[in-house]
Structure 1
Amino acid sequence: MKRTFKQRLSRYYLIFTACFAAFLLSLAVLESEGMPRVWIGYMFMFATIVLYASIGLVSRTSNVAEYYVAGRRVPALFNGMATAADWISAASFISLAGTLYLNGFDGLAFVMGWTGGYCLVALLIAPYLRKFGQYTIPDFLAERYGGPANGRAVRLCAVAATILISFTYVVAQIYAVGLIASRFTGVDFSVGIFLGLASVLVCSFLGGMRAITWTQVAQYIIIVAAFLIPAMWLSAKHSGNPIPQVAYGKLLPQLSAREAALAADDKETAVRAVFRERAAQYQQRLDGLPTSWETGRAELQHYLDSVRLRNASLLEIRTAERALIAYPKNAEDAVATWSAARDENLRRARPLTPHAVPFPGATQEQSDIKRRNFIALAFCLMLGTAALPHILMRSYTTPSVEETRVSVFWTLFFILLIYLTIPALAVLVKYDVYSALVGSHFSELPTWVSYWASVDRTNPLISITDINADGIVQLAEIAIDGDVLVLATPEIAGLPYVISGLVAAGGLAAALSTADGLLLAISNALSHDVYYKIVDPKASTQKRVTISKLILLGVAFVAAYSASTKPGDILSLVGAAFSLAASTLFPALVMGVFWRRANHWGALAGMATGFLVCQFYMVRTNPTLGGSAAAQWFDIAPISAAVFGVPAGLAALAIVSLLTPPPAPRQAALVRHIRTPEINEINKN
């Protein structure tokens, strides 16, 4: 019976892959016949959203086991694909290659941390969770640390952590949805967010984990095609080898030679000197506050009055009005605005850093700081990965513990298909930009520059300004947001626009697949762990599923509203979620599996201490949250706050557990059970 089900699934997805390939070919033919680009964007968006919605409709269910854990019958291969899609979020698909493009070697901390983290999931947590056989992560922690009698406090703490971690993460995914939708359909950014949200809701609202699983398998197929095709094209274009993971090693020496030539270019040096001078001017304004703010505002007001009096052109008047409106409202606002402008100009004034040089710094001390941050970030991402609720939930969906182990192998395989390509793509795109765009005339800028500059006019994703007025593009005159790089890769490579649509569909699939899992993790934690386990234990299965759907709907709209405010770049939001997950949940999860002496009070102390230390460090050191970089401990960046939160959580859990009575015999028996080689689940429900 299992073999028949797996064969049927294989046939369905082979048909889907063939139909998707035919869809791409059809659009390519239509593009060659003159179909407008905007219509291709509409068709990609419409087709993918309809596809995901259709799977959601077909997979709708009110059965508790189907809604929460897909009936525990997902074959290992397909669970691996679904988990990979769940894992390859907008940060991985959209932002990671851009981070490597901007930061070179130092960006590999994300690749190493996330890949290594999933190895920890395979070794330390996933099989044991499946053997325990619950529905959610708070379920596991409540049973392990207290049981029905006194596990309520642990359950509530785990629910709070799940909500905070998942909500932070899901806002980043919905932000990416808005970015993609606005670029490829021309709608407003906020409208694009709610268009993508409709697709998320149809899948997760109607069918829960069952619908999400089968949707994520389809989404992974789109993701892998969208990421590999442009990378293979660029690889063949620049090296003659269509395998980017192999070819980019040959291209690195050529990129290094080009970087050396640009670093020695007098025009590049002159442009960077202009940015340095601008940074000094902003510093002078900061030093002269509040007088400098008052003087600047008076000058702008005087200029506006003068252009109005001399009947200047409407354009000149509007420009003067916008300058006055954009001016800081008070001296405190001026500190934040001018500090950010000073730092941005200083960043662009820095000498070119070679892509392949690890931990670059002007001094040995600066290099050591970068090395510490590299190791700290990789550490936080690894442990955060091993504690993400929406990823760990997938270990509940397989038929057995053995299938879970096989599923983890397939997940790693499918993730590595993308992750081994990301460093290659960063090098290929950088070489293309450095050799084709740099040195070209401003009058001959490619059309993709203006396309992406117009997506968000308040915070342009790409900006190329003739700083030295020579009409030639210098590298220092190019400012590219890391979030735009992958989406613009097909246009940078000169591929047909249909491939741009495919990449957008891949980015949308990556964002939606992760958003689906995150929203379900939040709604399940609230409906199952709070409503059913605490508020109304006698609730019917129908009522439990209905409550979960209503909560999911509410959380989705709150997350969409938060994303519409553009709270920060995608990678920073995701990094914060990983540090919070590592600090709050990792100690309790791992010690709950491997240390029988860990008890109820220790788990509470560990989760609370880890969270508080992590949150304190983020708030204290992140300028966006009102902190200061001067308050950093050992110069560790706020994104790596878990490097302090995890040890604090582990220490608190161990100390409090040893100072309080040992856990009940039932909890010790549970630990023995999940660590034995048996594959019978403790709970068949």
Structure 2
Amino acid sequence: MSVQTWTWILVGITFALYFGIAIWARAGSTKDFYVAGGGVSPLANGMATAADWMSAASFISMAGIISFTGYDGSVYLMGWTGGYVLLALLLAPYLRKFGKFTVPDFIGDRYYSNTARTVAVICALLVSFTYVAGQMRGVGVVFSRFLEVDINLGVAIGMAIVLVFAFLGGMKGITYTQVAQYCVLIFAFMVPAFFISMQMTGNIIPQLGMGGSVEGGELLLDKLDRLHTELGFKEYTDGSKSTWDVFAITLALMVGTAGLPHVIVRFFTVPKVKDARKSAGLALLFIAILYTTAPAIAVFARTNLIETVRDTEYAEVPAWFKNWEDSGLIAWTDKNGDGKIQYVAGGAIVGKKPIFNEARGTYGERTISNAATDSPNELYVDRDIMVLANPEIAKLPNWVIALVAAGGLAAALSTAAGLLLVISTSISHDLIKKQIKPDMSEKGELWAARIAILGAIIVAGYFGMNPPGFVAAVVALAFGLAAASFFPAIILGIFDKRMNKQGAIAGMIVGITLMLFYMIRYKTGLIGGFDPRPASEWWFGTSPEGFGTIAMLVNVIVSVVVSRLTPAPPQHVQEIVENIRIPSGAGEAHSH
């Protein structure tokens, strides 16, 4: 059977499963809708957290980034997994004990202020919309290649699907669909990795295969270093980032993870505080399976890609190359007129606009602008296709190629659903119920949440169809925003009794404003000139992806200084903070 037929079958089966679960787990109350009734087991919650967390960025883009940047890409692995350690130890148990539905709810009550709650809602919306834009784009990329539809139509299909299971079941529907999606995405990620590892190194375990040797006895990584230097790239295993920038990006991703509203809310869905800690540990284990495999997939895909396209006659390229060319995500332009693909270091094309060939009815060669004419490189490869194209490049069976498409969709849709729920609860619970209309009935609140989801999906779909120019790094930037705004307010709220509303509000506003300014100036160039500013102008040599660390430190300093210069929080709030940190059951032990 063809790849397309297999894709329709596997995507159809997995989607039928998701819809079935959404209908079975319909939400009857706001508690069901917001926190799945608070009765999810740690095992199911660990799987759901892992699926919620491993987005299109983890599944589709991360191995792609590593395969192009080599050693430098390891910051994503360290930062995104390290954040879970922080979550499990510092945040999850305490937030669970506080017992609020959402992050703005915690901030509003801990800082006894609706202004603080509103600032937190705005931050949650900024983080979630920045993040969800990347997910919808991921859905569009997968649909456009495997179902052979336009990218925008792919985004629209994705919007309709997420709407059904988020609208019907809220957190309850999303939790159980995410358990299914975790199983699909991990199976889809690992199966091709086993196949390719066996094919290239004779070792079925990809993590070991990556350090193994290939035909001729050469180590795989040595071979990739050699191929890289022959083509004029820096050695794959050699890093170019400064130690400070590696540290800054890793820390920003770690504290960003620990401050992400759609991940934190998962710890309210378990019955007890102990279960929150357990599910964070299990989530880390489930995530590690994919994260330790990603560098291996990056190495396999990079080696296969170079060996397949280097000095190949364009007329003889394999079918997978033409398929991806039609989606506009690979482009070749014959600069020296020899009919061969010349893949070396340097820009092949500038701008992402493929030229539409009227005669063939497909996308083909892209325009070269003056900036790329000096470079001899003739091949443009979009990083986001490395994981999806990998099984095709390695000539794996068609059902494996289709399975990866189903896995990519599961990853993007599960995270999009979690983010849309955060957006809707922020609006319906934290803005409308808590501030505008406190006497609202439970049924009214449920309807408000559903209408908010509908609005959020329309906005997310718009961003997916018209992505900001920096969509590849958009996820890392969402983490920077979470690190700069939420993390200090939550951590100081738990561990600093003297922290008051004035400090928290000032810190969040300064932190997120600083991060937004830096992101816009150095990623889009909209402030201070029209080109994104070069790396030589970065503050303290910190990349936009790592700037969340600096913005977070500024937030902490502002919060602490302002809180010490203004009145202490009321006595009952200080008692709550004292009480949060006493382990459940410790109080009874003393009373006997």
* TM-score normalised to structure 2 length: 0.89
Indicate conservation of the 8 Å contact 2:221/2:237, yes or no. Answer: no
Output the amino acid matched with 1:435: E
Output the amino acid matched with 2:151: F
- CA–CA distance in 2 between the matches of 1:220 and 1:55? 14
Residue 114 of structure 2 corresponds to 152
Gaps of 5+ in 2: 345-377, 588-592
What pairs up with 1:323-338 in 2 under 5 angstroms? none
Residue 254 of structure 2 corresponds to 382
Which of the numbers 443, 451, 462 marks the counterpart of 1:561?
462
Which of the numbers 555, 566, 590 marks the counterpart of 1:649?
555
Q: Deviations over 1:135-189 (max 9, x none)?
A: 111111111111xxxx101110111100110011011101111111111111221
Output the amino acid matched with 1:212: I
The alpha-carbon deviation at position 97 of structure 1 amounts to: 0.3
Output the amino acid matched with 2:56: A
- CA–CA distance in 2 between the matches of 1:413 and 1:261? 34
Indicate conservation of the 8 Å contact 2:192/2:391, yes or no. Answer: yes
- Is 1:355 aligned to residue 209 of structure 2? no
- CA–CA distance in 1 between the matches of 2:166 and 2:560? 38
Residue aligned with 1:463, SS? strand
Output the amino acid matched with 2:330: I
- Is 1:444 aligned to residue 316 of structure 2? yes
Indicate conservation of the 8 Å contact 1:593/1:674, yes or no. Answer: yes
Higher helix share: 1
Q: Deviations over 1:487-522 (max 9, x none)?
A: 111101111222111101111000000000000001
Q: 1:91 to 1:258 in 2, by over 3 A?
A: closer
Q: Deviations over 1:69-127 (max 9, x none)?
A: 00111000010000000000010000000000100000000010001111111111111
Residue 260 of structure 1 corresponds to 226
Q: Deviations over 1:50-70 (max 9, x none)?
A: 322221112112311111100
Output the amino acid matched with 1:520: L
Q: Deviations over 1:293-322 (max 9, x none)?
A: xxxxxxxxxxxxxxxxxxxxxxxxxxxxxx
Residue 246 of structure 1 corresponds to 208
- CA–CA distance in 1 between the matches of 2:560 and 2:99? 26
- CA–CA distance in 1 between the matches of 2:220 and 2:22? 48
What pairs up with 1:206-355 in 2 under 5 angstroms? 206-251=168-213, 253-257=219-223, 259-260=225-226, 263-264=229-230, 351-355=232-236
Higher mean C-alpha displacement, 409-418 vs 570-579: 570-579
Residue aligned with 1:356, SS? coil
CA root-mean-square deviation: 1.8
Aligned length: 545
What pairs up with 1:144-223 in 2 under 5 angstroms? 144-146=110-112, 151-223=113-185
Q: 1:79 to 1:441 in 2, by over 3 A?
A: same
The alpha-carbon deviation at position 481 of structure 1 amounts to: 1.0
The alpha-carbon deviation at position 646 of structure 1 amounts to: 0.5
Residue 402 of structure 1 corresponds to 274
The alpha-carbon deviation at position 624 of structure 1 amounts to: 4.8
* TM-score normalised to structure 1 length: 0.77
Indicate conservation of the 8 Å contact 2:38/2:270, yes or no. Answer: yes
- CA–CA distance in 2 between the matches of 1:623 and 1:560? 21
Indicate conservation of the 8 Å contact 2:96/2:267, yes or no. Answer: yes
Q: 1:648 to 1:261 in 2, by over 3 A?
A: closer
Output the amino acid matched with 2:533: S
Indicate conservation of the 8 Å contact 1:95/1:570, yes or no. Answer: no
- CA–CA distance in 2 between the matches of 1:447 and 1:181? 18
- CA–CA distance in 1 between the matches of 2:283 and 2:477? 24
Residue 474 of structure 1 corresponds to 342
Residue 495 of structure 1 corresponds to 396
- Is 1:49 aligned to residue 11 of structure 2? no
Higher mean C-alpha displacement, 551-560 vs 370-379: 370-379
Residue 369 of structure 2 corresponds to none
The alpha-carbon deviation at position 569 of structure 1 amounts to: 5.0
The alpha-carbon deviation at position 542 of structure 1 amounts to: 0.8
- CA–CA distance in 1 between the matches of 2:228 and 2:515? 41
Output the amino acid matched with 2:236: H
The alpha-carbon deviation at position 523 of structure 1 amounts to: 0.3
Q: 1:510 to 1:651 in 2, by over 3 A?
A: same
Output the amino acid matched with 2:566: T
- CA–CA distance in 1 between the matches of 2:421 and 2:269? 14
Residue 366 of structure 1 corresponds to none
Which of the numbers 432, 438, 448 marks the counterpart of 1:537?
438
- CA–CA distance in 1 between the matches of 2:5 and 2:192? 21
Residue 349 of structure 2 corresponds to none
The alpha-carbon deviation at position 576 of structure 1 amounts to: 1.3
Residue 670 of structure 1 corresponds to 576
Gaps of 5+ in 1: 1-30, 269-350, 360-368
Indicate conservation of the 8 Å contact 2:93/2:277, yes or no. Answer: yes
Residue 393 of structure 1 corresponds to 265
